[in-house]
Amino acid sequence: MSLYYKSTRNSELRVTASEAILKGLAPDGGLFVPEKLPILDVPMRELGKMTYQETAYAVMKLFLTDFTEDELKDCITKAYDDKFDTEEIAPLAKVDGVYYLELFHGATIAFKDMALSILPHLMTASAKKNRIENKIVILTATSGDTGKAALAGFADVEGTRIIVFYPKNGVSKVQELQMVTQKGDNVDVVAIHGNFDDAQSGVKAIFEDKEFAAELAEQGYQFSSANSINIGRLVPQVVYYVYAYAKLLENEEIGEGEEINVVVPTGNFGNILAAYYAKQMGVPIAKLICASNENKVLFDFFRTGIYDKNREFVLTSSPSMDILISSNLERLIYLIAGEDSAKTRELMEGLGGSGRYTITEEMKAKLDDFAAGYSSEEETAEQIKAVYEKTGYVTDTHTAVASHVCGQYQRGTDDKKKYVVASTASPYKFAKSVMTAIDGKYAASDELVLIEELQKISGTVMPRAIEEILNAEILHTLECDADKMKEIVKGLCISC
């Protein structure tokens, strides 16, 4: 059966999966959503015996129905190979009774690799399928992790070019080094003077600029997005929730049909939305617990039904979650609005205008599947230290936000279900914050020295991704103001 995609802001629009992947964003500014969420057609017991790659096929084939079996399997094989440092791809670590779903074993040691390892392949396959002759220009705004994962995924992929924008003072030292040392003939990295939301808004504005698109089309270019608004990012993320549940069952950690709770450290709302999709597909997930850092716009939203981005933007130790406009929330809004695209458009225009919107009581009632919490900077640091001292397991700052919220929820509700915490980055990526949390004496040390220290105290080996940047040459030094992004893109595209 064919599955089509429509826009959250226009239900008349109907495109195939490959068209949605190529476009990234719908022409009306909406996000592509499947007309109907598919239901898993393989029993959980059978999935439990599958490899990650086989599970990926079983899940993704239900969403990407215009890909042939060969095309999709080819994308999966190219993506989930020895770029990952474990054959399990997304292993579960049981720590103090909680299951950490480790999504950081890919090339750039953050969970973005789970989707960005496969997106370039889905995109080139989509281009072929739709007979696209233009070069595809990937524009990406990053709060740190997406940028590097997208650069690594698209570097030297034929027929593509990638430009990444990141907030100059809003990413970690390791994150910045990872990006500015990226090799590849088709890659550019630009630091902007502003925060992540400025970068994201700038990219969105370029996508919505039809004149600019026409101008570039004449030169043989067309834009697409590697941001988590692309359905080609979301679909691969559904896979690991199915995989995690199936493995818990296979390993007899849970019984047949037993419900679990999932806790997700959230920024742009892509990861947790994938968990919600997994639930709709039949994975027995009870609560989806949304964990925020001090930029707790989502916590407030779930509590009050009011989304309000008018507040101070806080730079935290979990920078990939320093976001006030959670783009993927639009897909949830659309679902709880009863797939009413006019209503969704109205609310999103409110966000674009006054920076806030209020959902109806009826919509709010449909948010029962979700719970939300947040972790202050102090609580996040305490959580890293507490888990380390009790178990020897070291989590990164983002995972610690979720781990704290997990404990908070358990204590507050006495909900005895098993918990899966999405573990979104390797502690090596945030060595400074992690080590300082464990012991204040590290506060003055250099981040790169602390990486060595982290090896010692955790008894783990430095990931390849870190080793690579230690001596790499800096290749990208471009900077610009947030309102000059379009000029930069134009310059780079004309010159290439």
Ligand X SMILES: *Cc1c(COP(=O)(O)O)cnc(C)c1O
Give catalytic residues, as residue numbers.
Answer: 112
* Angle CA 83–422–395, to nearest 5: 80
> Any contact of residue 110 with ligand X (CB under 6 A)?
yes
Please say which residue, 150 or 321, places its beta carbon nearer to ligand X: 321
> Any contact of residue 269 with ligand X (CB under 6 A)?
yes
Cα–Cα distance list, 485 to 68, 131, 169, 451, 481 (Å): 38, 29, 17, 34, 7
Q: Given the rule CB under 6 A, which of 1-9, 87-95, 106-114, 433-441 is the region that contacts ligand X? A: 106-114
Cα–Cα distance list, 454 to 332, 382, 398, 426 (Å): 39, 17, 17, 11
> Any contact of residue 268 with ligand X (CB under 6 A)?
yes
Q: Which of 317, 424, 433, 436 binds ligand X (CB under 6 A)?
A: 424
> Any contact of residue 100 with ligand X (CB under 6 A)?
no
> Any contact of residue 111 with ligand X (CB under 6 A)?
yes
Number of chain positions touching ligand X (CB under 6 A): 17
> Any contact of residue 197 with ligand X (CB under 6 A)?
no
> Any contact of residue 170 with ligand X (CB under 6 A)?
no
> Any contact of residue 117 with ligand X (CB under 6 A)?
no
Q: What is the dihedral of CA 37, 21, 171, 424, to 10 degrees?
A: 40
In 366-430, alpha helices (H): 377-391, 397-413
CB 204 within 8 A of CB 25: yes
| Shortest spacing between CB 330 and ligand X, in angstroms | 13
> Any contact of residue 129 with ligand X (CB under 6 A)?
no
Strand partners, 373: 291
The rounded distance, in Å, linking the Cα atoms of 230 and 219 is 24
The per-residue DSSP string of 165-198 comes to EEETTSS-HHHHHHHHT---TTEEEEEEES-HHH
Q: Which of 398, 463, 480, 485 binds ligand X (CB under 6 A)?
A: 398
| Shortest spacing between CB 292 and ligand X, in angstroms | 10
Q: Which of 38, 236, 265, 427 binds ligand X (CB under 6 A)?
A: 265
Please say which residue, 125 or 421, places its beta carbon nearer to ligand X: 421
Q: Given the rule CB under 6 A, which of 72-80, 110-118, 215-223, 302-310 is the region that contacts ligand X? A: 110-118
> Any contact of residue 425 with ligand X (CB under 6 A)?
yes
Query: Among 90, 82, 74, which Cα is nearest to 424's?
Result: 90
> Any contact of residue 380 with ligand X (CB under 6 A)?
no
> Any contact of residue 178 with ligand X (CB under 6 A)?
no
> Any contact of residue 179 with ligand X (CB under 6 A)?
no
**Helical axes 341-353 vs 329-336, angle rounded to 10°:** 140
End-to-end alpha carbon distance in the chain: 41
- Give the three-class secondary structure for 457: helix
The residues, any chain, with a CB within 8 Å of residue 334's CB and separated by 6 or more, are 8, 31, 33, 340, 341, 344
Largest CA distance in the chain: 61
Please say which residue, 110 or 348, places its beta carbon nearer to ligand X: 110
The rounded distance, in Å, linking the Cα atoms of 94 and 104 is 16
Q: Given the rule CB under 6 A, which of 131-139, 183-191, 260-268, 350-358 is the region that contacts ligand X? A: 260-268
CB 331 within 8 A of CB 8: yes
Which value, in Å, is the radius of gyration of the alpha carbons in the chain? Answer: 21
Please say which residue, 11 or 376, places its beta carbon nearer to ligand X: 376
Q: Which of 231, 242, 263, 321 binds ligand X (CB under 6 A)?
A: 321
Query: Among 409, 416, 389, which Cα is nearest to 95's?
Result: 389
> Any contact of residue 34 with ligand X (CB under 6 A)?
no
> Any contact of residue 228 with ligand X (CB under 6 A)?
yes
Q: Given the rule CB under 6 A, which of 10-18, 108-116, 172-180, 345-353 is the region that contacts ligand X? A: 108-116
> Any contact of residue 320 with ligand X (CB under 6 A)?
yes
Q: Given the rule CB under 6 A, which of 268-276, 345-353, 412-420, 444-452 is the region that contacts ligand X? A: 268-276
Q: Which of 175, 271, 341, 410 binds ligand X (CB under 6 A)?
A: 271
Residues within window 282-301 making contact with ligand X, judged by CB under 6 A:
none
Q: Given the rule CB under 6 A, which of 5-13, 263-271, 362-370, 463-471 is the region that contacts ligand X? A: 263-271
CB 143 within 8 A of CB 103: no
What does the binding site for ligand X look like in residue numbers (CB under 6 A)? 110-112, 145, 228, 265-271, 320-321, 398, 424-425
